[in-house]
Amino acid sequence: MRTETQAISKGNNRISFRSVKTTRKGSSTKLYVETREATAGEVVAYNGQPLSPEQRHAEEGRIERFINKPEELKKKCAEDRETTERTLRILRALPDAFRFDYAGEQAGSESIGRLGTRLLKFNFHPNPVYQPPSRLEEVLTGLRGVILIDAEHYRLASIDATLFKDVAFG
């Protein structure tokens, strides 16, 4: 995780990623691209289906709001900085918060890692002796899943985690 946190802290590397959030109401898929000023995210699918023309129009309107209203973009940039800080705290906690079990390898694809790269696969589950230092890290005590690491560059390719139990936040 050190390689990942160093890359984020330096701010030289720009990342893009896909996120799928699933709730009882369904799923939403977003594409994110990090820019110098902020991270731009765009919904591209609901429940695995591309946006309808009406949904696409609403999403374009949401994005245009940031272009036409600099004060909203400034607020978004401040939120992104806070999100980056929280993300770094979570990344730094991963080695202590989880136990990792080697689960093989897989090739990178267009959507995970880089096409053809060797990815190391690990299953993870909470470390029973981990004591979260704050409420933020408390969520880690209820997660399990799979992590893929780029074997050549020692970078995260994918984290697929599920909240398998309720987590109390105090």
Q: Summarize pLDDT for 34-57 with one digit per residue, the tens.
A: 777 777 788 999 999 999 999 999
Residues 6+ apart with CB under 8 A from 2: none
pTM more than 0.75? no
Nearest residue to 16 (alpha-carbon basis) of 35, 34, 42, 43? 34
Residue 45, pLDDT score: 93
Tens digits of pLDDT across the chain (170 residues)? 556 555 555 555 667 778 888 888 999 998 888 777 777 788 999 999 999 999 999 999 988 888 888 888 888 888 878 887 888 899 999 999 999 999 999 999 888 888 889 999 999 999 999 999 999 999 999 999 999 999 998 889 999 998 888 877 65
Query: Which strand (E) or helix (H) includes residue 43?
Result: strand 39-46
Using CA atoms, how far apart are residues 89 and 134, in angstroms rounded to an integer?
A: 10
Which residues, in sequence order, are bridge partners of residue 105? 120
- The per-residue pLDDT for 153 is 87
CA pair distance 163, 140, nearest whole angstrom: 9
| pLDDT given for residue 127 in this prediction | 97
